[in-house]
Amino acid sequence: MAKAHMPIGVFISAGGDLSAAINRVLEIGLNSVQLHPPGPDLRTKARAREIADQFSEAGIDISLVFCGFAGESYKTISIVRDTVGLVPPATRAERTKVTQSVADFASWLDAPGIGIHVGAVSEDPKSAEFADVVRVIGEVADYCADRGLTMNLETGQETADALLHVLETANRPNLAVNFDPANMILYGSGEPLEALRKVGKYVKSCHCKDGTWSAKPGVEWGAEVPLGKGDVNIERFVAILNELGYTGPLTIEREISGERQTADIRAGVQLLKDIKAKLGIR
Ligand code: MG
């Protein structure tokens, strides 16, 4: 059977009660997820096979496994710059190993790739920092390629031009973009739809998330809001993905928890269904 174009999905964690998380995905009526893996001690091959079986029995595809690191903080944009991803020099080597362990886990799950916030890469392409971060990204991409995985860089912590420069400099065929349009707004990194067109050929996955600009973009956080209620223009976002020939999942990310999150995700699913119908995407 042909794969559906742009299946609607949701971002979930395998760290807590996985059966409950899977049931919630099924209740919402979805069969595609991006997954936060369990913590390092549980990232064994045996646990991966158990998780893969649970998802396959439920008929749910894992489209991406997402990296995260101990010590990261998203408290302010400036703290993100100091703590997130492969950019902070003090933890770069150690986190490279962690990323490779997530890649191993993703391959055991038979997932097609890993997603990662690499952090706020230097916008000065002549700096030693830029060169070393790109070197590490290339190394991890090669590690992923050996396991048949893509490495999808999440957008937002830099401008589209800076991200494009990273992708072109690293120059690996399996290096891709997980495009999160809201992040461009939340971090104040640029107008998301323009950015999507710039990096479009690299986009292999995305987050359907919405946000509103802060009064001081790039200094203070914008606000993450339910899908369709922010400044992204989700309908245009999906239309441009379609024009780019993108057929991958539309993975909803809603960064709150509890019943409000479930209600917002359900409303987001309906919105995306309506947009797909309007655009004639089946
Ligand atoms: Mg995201």
Query: Ligand 1 centroid vs 7 CA: distance in angstroms?
Result: 17
Q: What is the pLDDT of residue 2?
A: 59
Instruction: Read off the pLDDT of each residue in 49-65 and give the average, rounded to a whole number.
Output: 98
Instruction: Read off the pLDDT of each residue in 19-42 and give the average, rounded to a whole number.
Output: 96
For 106, the token pair is: 């993703």
Question: Is there a contact between 174 and 140 (Cβ–Cβ < 8 Å)?
Answer: no
Phi, psi torsion values for 18, nearest 5 degrees: -70, -40
Query: Ligand 1 centroid vs 200 CA: distance in angstroms?
Result: 16
Q: What is the pLDDT of residue 123?
A: 85
Query: Ligand 1 centroid vs 277 CA: distance in angstroms?
Result: 24
Query: Ligand 1 centroid vs 197 CA: distance in angstroms?
Result: 18
For residue 177, pLDDT over 60 is answered with: yes
Half-sphere exposure of 12 toward its Cβ, with a 13 Å CA cutoff? 28
Helices (H), the chain: 18-28, 45-58, 77-83, 92-108, 128-146, 160-170, 181-186, 192-199, 234-243, 258-279
Q: What is the pLDDT of residue 16?
A: 87
Query: Ligand 1 centroid vs 171 CA: distance in angstroms?
Result: 23
Query: Ligand 1 centroid vs 73 CA: distance in angstroms?
Result: 15
For residue 4, pLDDT over 70 is answered with: yes
Query: Ligand 1 centroid vs 52 CA: distance in angstroms?
Result: 23
b/e burial code for range 190-225 (CB count within 10 A of at least 16 → b) = bbbbebbeebbebbbbbbbbbbebbeebeeebbbbb
Query: Ligand 1 centroid vs 210 CA: distance in angstroms?
Result: 10
pTM equals: 0.97
Query: Ligand 1 centroid vs 154 CA: distance in angstroms?
Result: 7
Query: Ligand 1 centroid vs 90 CA: distance in angstroms?
Result: 25
Which residue is associated with the tokens 């290096």? 175
For 147, the token pair is: 């396991």
For residue 1, pLDDT over 80 is answered with: no
Query: Ligand 1 centroid vs 235 CA: distance in angstroms?
Result: 18
Mode of pairing for the β-strands spanning 175-179 and 32-36: unpaired
Instruction: Read off the pLDDT of each residue in 271-275 and give the average, rounded to a whole number.
Output: 98
pLDDT digits (tens, 9 = 90+) for 237-259: 999 999 999 999 999 999 999 99
Alpha-carbon Rg for the chain, nearest whole angstrom, is 18
Q: What is the pLDDT of residue 120?
A: 92
Query: Ligand 1 centroid vs 208 CA: distance in angstroms?
Result: 8
Question: Is there a contact between 187 and 157 (Cβ–Cβ < 8 Å)?
Answer: yes
The two most distant CA atoms of the chain are separated, in Å, by: 50
Q: What is the pLDDT of residue 68?
A: 95
Chain Cα centroid distance, residue 154: 5
Mode of pairing for the β-strands spanning 210-212 and 223-225: antiparallel
Query: Ligand 1 centroid vs 279 CA: distance in angstroms?
Result: 24
pLDDT digits (tens, 9 = 90+) for 133-168: 999 999 999 999 999 999 999 999 999 999 999 999
How many whole angstroms separate alpha carbon 211 and alpha carbon 194? Answer: 16
For residue 75, pLDDT over 80 is answered with: yes
Query: Ligand 1 centroid vs 41 CA: distance in angstroms?
Result: 25
Q: What is the pLDDT of residue 15?
A: 86
Query: Ligand 1 centroid vs 115 CA: distance in angstroms?
Result: 10
Band (pLDDT 50/70/90 cuts) for residue 113 is very high
Query: Ligand 1 centroid vs 281 CA: distance in angstroms?
Result: 23
Query: Ligand 1 centroid vs 66 CA: distance in angstroms?
Result: 10
Query: Ligand 1 centroid vs 180 CA: distance in angstroms?
Result: 5
Q: What is the pLDDT of residue 109?
A: 98
Query: Ligand 1 centroid vs 112 CA: distance in angstroms?
Result: 18
- Number of Cβ within 10 Å of residue 62's Cβ equals 22
Least confident of 29-33, 121-125, 184-188: 121-125
Q: What is the pLDDT of residue 282?
A: 83
